Chains A and B, each alone.
Chain A
Amino acid sequence: MSYEAIVIGVSLGGMNALKIMFSLLPKNFNTPIIIVQHLSPRSDNQWIKILNEKSNLHIKEADEKEKIEKGNVYIAPANYHLPIEKNKTFSLTINERVNFARPSIDVLFESAAEAYKNKLIGIVLTGSNKDGTNGIKRIQEFGGLTIIQNPETTESSYMPISALSAIRPDYILSLEEIIKVLIKIDKQIIR
C-alpha cells in the first residue's frame, strides 16, 4: 500500500505536539503533510517560521492554488479554511466557521478524502473540540488509513475521544508511536 499524503488535525496542546513531531521526523521524510492547527483568527504565521527553524523538513503556510509537493509540510493559514482540490492543489476559503473553527479540520479532511481516496493517512491529535470527527470518518469511508492519538497521552483528550466515538481507527497510539509508524510507512513507499 502506498500513501500520497498525510493530514493532521490538532487543536489545544498542538504547539507542543507539533514541536515534538518535527523534532523527530527525519530529513528524508517524503510524504507531504498537511496540518490544521486551531489558532486565534488574528495570529500571524510567526510560529510557523519558528517551527520550521527547528525542523528537518520544510514547513510553510499553504498558499492558495499551491501544488502539494513531496517532502513539504503545509499549515493552514489563520482565519481561512484549507480545502484540497482533486488536482492536489490548495484552495483557501473564508466560509462560515465549522465546529466554531476556521480553519476547520473537517473541511481539510473531507476534501482530502475525496482527493486522495485510499492513498491518504488521517491523524487526529490532542484538542478540545469535536472538529475532525466527521473528517476522520470520511477518510475511513474512502479507504484511507486512520490514526487517533491515544487520549490518555494527550494534553487535551476531548478531540481524540470524540473521533473514537465515530470510528474504529487503524491505530490508537501515543505521539511518539505515531511518528514511528509514519516513518516506517514512509520508508516502504516505493518512489
Chain B
Amino acid sequence: MKYNDTSELEISLLLEAVFQKYGYDFRQYSEAHIRRRVINRMAMAGLEDISQMQSKVLKDELFASEFLQDLSITVTEMFRDSGFYRSLRENVLPILKTYPFIKIWHAGCASGEEAYSMAIIMQEEGLYDRTTIYATDFNQQALNKAKEGIFSNSMMKEYTSNYQLSGGKESFSSYYTSNYDNVIMNQSLKKNIVWANHNLVTDSVFAEVHLILCRNVLIYFNRNLQNKVQKLFYNSLINGGILCLGSKEGLRFTDFYEAYTELDKKQRIFKKKY
C-alpha cells in the first residue's frame, strides 16, 4: 500500500457512487474521517488506488456492505460521560415526570447501550411503565445486536463504575444475567424500547417526542448537515422538549441556537422554547 495522496475529488466521487448505487449519503460527512476509513479498507483489501476501490464498491455488494459498515462508527458505552447521566437524573427527569406519557428518541443508538442505560434510569425513577424509548440507527447490524441485548462481560466492570459515578444506587449486576463471556440485559428493560432503522440524513421526522438524545453522531457531519439534522430534531420535539447532544457538540453554529435555552451548558442539554 502506497500512501499516495488520495485527493478530495476522488473521495467525493467515491461517495457519489455509493449514494447513486446504494442510497447511503455520506457526502457531507467529515472528510478526514471518511478518508481514514477508505485508506484502511483499501489496505485491508489489497487495493492499489481509489479507482480500484470505486469499481469494487460498485460491483461487489458484499464488499460494499463491509465498506458501509466501516463508515458507520458504532463505538458506544453504557453511561458514557457519567456527569451527563447525573444531570439527566437531576435536571431532565423532573420535567419529564410532569407528562402522563413520555416519549424518548435515541438517534444514532448504535448497539443500544445508551438506550439500555436510559431504561435503567427510568425504571429506577418509577417512570418506565409510562415511557416509550425509540432507538434508531441506520446500521441494521448494530440494531440487531441492540435488540438482542447481549453484551460482552469484559465491559461490565467499566459500565458498573460509569453507572455508579452517574448516581446509580442499585447493584448494576441486577440488570443483567451473566452467561460466560456475555451478559443478557433483563427483559424488563427491553419491554418499552422500540428499535427502528432510520437514517438521519435521508429520512424524515420519526415521531413527536419529549426528549431526544443524539450523542456523538453529529461530530461526524459537516456544519451544513448538522444544521439539516437539527431541523429534524426541532420538528420532532414538543414545545418545552429536551435535546441532549454529545459532550463536545453544540447548537452555536446552527440556525437553532436561539430556539432553545440551555438547561445544562456543560453537559449540552437544551430545552426547546415555547
Residues of A within 8 A of B222 (CB): 65
Q: A85-B30, A114-B5 are in contact. Are A64 and B219 (CB under 8 A)?
A: yes
Within 8 A of A (CB), among B154-207: none
* Complex-state Cα separation, A168 to B203, whole angstroms: 51
Number of interface residues of B (CB under 8 A): 20
Question: Which of A84, A92, A110, A111 makes the CB contact (< 8 A) with B219?
Answer: A92
Please give me the residue from chain A that is nearest to B81 by CB atom.
Answer: A79
Residues of A within 8 A of B32 (CB): 83-86, 91, 111, 114-115
Interface of B is mostly: loop
Please give me the residue from chain B that is nearest to A98 by CB atom.
Answer: B36
Asked if A94 is an interface residue, CB under 8 A from chain B, the answer is yes
Within 8 A of A (CB), among B194-230: 216, 219-220, 222-223
Number of interface residues of A (CB under 8 A): 24
Within 8 A of B (CB), among A99-121: 107, 110-111, 114-115, 117
Q: Could you list 17 A-B pairs, sorted by A, with CB under 8 Å? A: A64-B248, A65-B253, A77-B248, A84-B32, A85-B30, A86-B32, A91-B30, A91-B33, A93-B30, A93-B220, A94-B75, A96-B75, A107-B36, A111-B32, A111-B35, A114-B5, A141-B3
Give the A-binding residues of B (Cβ under 8 A).
Answer: 3, 5-6, 8, 30-33, 35-36, 73, 75, 216, 219-220, 222-223, 248-249, 253
Give the B-binding residues of A (Cβ under 8 A).
Answer: 63-65, 77, 80, 83-86, 91-96, 107, 110-111, 114-115, 117, 138, 141-142
- Interface contacts beyond A80-B219, A95-B33, A107-B36: sample of 5 additional A-B pairs, CB < 8 Å, sorted by A: A83-B32, A83-B33, A83-B36, A85-B32, A91-B219
